[in-house]
Amino acid sequence: LQVKYESQRKILQTLASRLEELGIDAQKPGGLCCPLQPVVPSPIINGYRNKSTFSVNRGPDGNPKTVGLYVGTGRERNIVCVKANHVENIPSKHKQVAQCYEEFICHSPLDSCILFHEGGHWRELVVRSSSCGHTMAIVTFHPQKLGQEALTTQKDLLKEFFTCGPGAVCDLTSLYFQESTMTRCSHEQSPYQLLHGAPHIFEELLGLKFRISPDAFFQVNTAGAEVLYQAVGELCQATGDTVLLDICCGTGTIGLSLAHRVSKVIGVEMVEKAIEDAEWNAAFNGISNCEFHSGKAEAVLPQLLASWEDARPLVAVVNPSRAGLHYRVVRAIRNCRSIRRLLYISCKPEGEAMRNFLELCCPPDPRKKLTGEPFAPVLAIPYDMFPHTVHCELLLLFTR
């Protein structure tokens, strides 16, 4: 926690000096741009991950069908796939599914797909689980030149292995199969095919029940997310007439957990299936003051805010991926006068998020169409959402 605190302190020092370069007096005690609280520890340290991605590649023993995690880099050409048994943050259930998947592909006459152009079929495995005891497995498969009949055979064999064969010990709630010719593939590009079980798994968080689709975003540390979202609720300073704008909302966890504090929640999310989950979650939990918009935030948000004439106070919460927010999203937030308070949750604040922080706080710039009054960082709270790693989640509060 001390190591993580120091790394977050350096990030805030960097932000302060970058803002100084823009002519903004941002230096606070310790050279920080705003006060930094101690790192909030995770309630669970071991086996906290509710989602694990396992690769297929050559192991240290040369086995090309090893299922595990990569060590090494592509640049050095020294990648090796090692089993995840020693990794403390992965739950034993995920390791069990990975071990069974390895057993299955080792008995398959089809090769693993290490490099697309060299052929092979069996690719990565994603395992999702919940505190309700549900487990979802998603197998990615490169079809290469296999016909539909051959593909059906492989799907049947996989299903049989995990329902009647040795893999039945995993007691899967859902088994999905995705044919993919790309490194990453959305449901729209190549549908997730349900081979066995229920289409969703369910999670409970802050007294609410959430439905999770194969590719929907959900914080990887459920217990840690509860602590984080409670803080978000307090920092929003929401009153009964506040409208909460939840950008990159995933399955709606943040907005729905705060819906009882505000008059309305508006969620925006790129993944269509996640929006379906969010709408189901709202209905199931009896929450009627939420509306969700499907589409890229940079397309949806400018339209949403350009015509904003609601007199109610508007608070924005953003929780983007490591890539940060698209410039058009930052511009829409910045140029909407109603937003006086912004909570930015970043899993990689030293990366692209830093660009967002500067765009939010820089002086108005007509050339970049940044005409709105600048925000200022007022508080930073790091959360140890990823114990056993160097990563940290940073919650930054901006006001204007």
Annotated binding-site residue numbers for S-adenosyl-L-methionine: 219, 269, 319
Please give the Cα distance from 169 to 158 (Å, whole number).
14
The residues facing 247 across adjacent strands are: 268, 318
Sheet holding 339-346, edge to edge: 290-294, 264-269, 243-247, 314-318, 339-346, 393-399, 376-383
Q: Report the alpha-carbon distance of residue 75 to residue 57 in Å, rounded.
A: 16
Region for 119 from its dihedrals, namely left if φ exceeds 0, alpha if ψ lies in -120 to 50, beta otherwise: left
Helical H segments across the chain, by residue range: 2-21, 92-107, 148-163, 222-235, 253-258, 272-284, 297-306, 327-335, 352-361
| Cβ atoms within 10 Å of 75's Cβ, excluding its own | 7
| CB atoms inside a 10 Å sphere around CB 374 | 18
Task: Please name which of 138, 324, 318, 329 lies closest in space to residue 246, comparing C-alpha atoms.
Answer: 318
Q: Identify the residue whose tokens are 């640049």.
A: 75
**Inter-residue contact 376 to 12 (CB < 8 Å):** no
- What is the rounded distance in angstroms from the CA atom of residue 373 to the CA atom of residue 285? 38
Task: Please say whether the beta carbons of 365 and 374 come within 8 A.
Answer: no
Tokens 């906290």 map to which residue?
48
- Closest by CA position to 369, among listed 326, 315, 330: 330
User: Would you name the residues annotated as active-site residues?
Assistant: 347
